Amino acid sequence: MVYLVYMSNLIGIGAIVIISWGALLTYFRFVTLEIKRLRGRKTYREKIVLRHQFGSYLLLGLEFLIAADAILTITYPSLEEIAILASIVVIRTVISFFLDKEMAYSENRKCEDES
């Protein structure tokens, strides 16, 4: 059982690394876009793409967190652990739903603009 706790912690650290990496990349790309915007270039579409990329890092990190919490819940099935797991699943589902909806809306707008 101790190995499962270590595995859960390792997967959780992986989730933190994924989310942090996505945040760093997004931050630096955002700064680059803002510099371009200040020079007179329109960056609206690029910011939408950037938001989607960052959202994908968040979703991937959340999925790793779900895996880590699922392993931990199997190891120590307390009511608190089950509640944490359920909360993360709900958060991930809500974020995924709205991100998918936003991406579909953006794609539809892009297709309309190109027509």
Looking at the structure of the chain, the number of domains it has is: 1
Q: Cβ(43)–Cβ(33) under 8 Å?
A: yes
**pLDDT band per the 50, 70, 90 thresholds, residue 111:** low
What pTM value is reported for the model? 0.76
Q: For residue 96, what pLDDT is reported?
A: 76
Helix (H, G, I), strand (E, B), or coil: what is residue 115? coil
Q: For residue 36, what pLDDT is reported?
A: 93
Q: For residue 82, what pLDDT is reported?
A: 84
Please state, in angstroms and as integers, the Cα–Cα distance from residue 7 to each residue in 57, 58, 64, 87, 103, following that order: 21, 21, 12, 21, 34
Parent domain of 6? 2-114
**pLDDT band per the 50, 70, 90 thresholds, residue 115:** low
Q: What angle, rounded to 10 degrees, do the helices at 44-75 and 2-38 form?
A: 170
Task: List, for residues 52-107, the tens digit of each pLDDT value.
Answer: 889 889 888 988 988 888 888 888 788 887 888 888 888 878 887 887 787 777 76
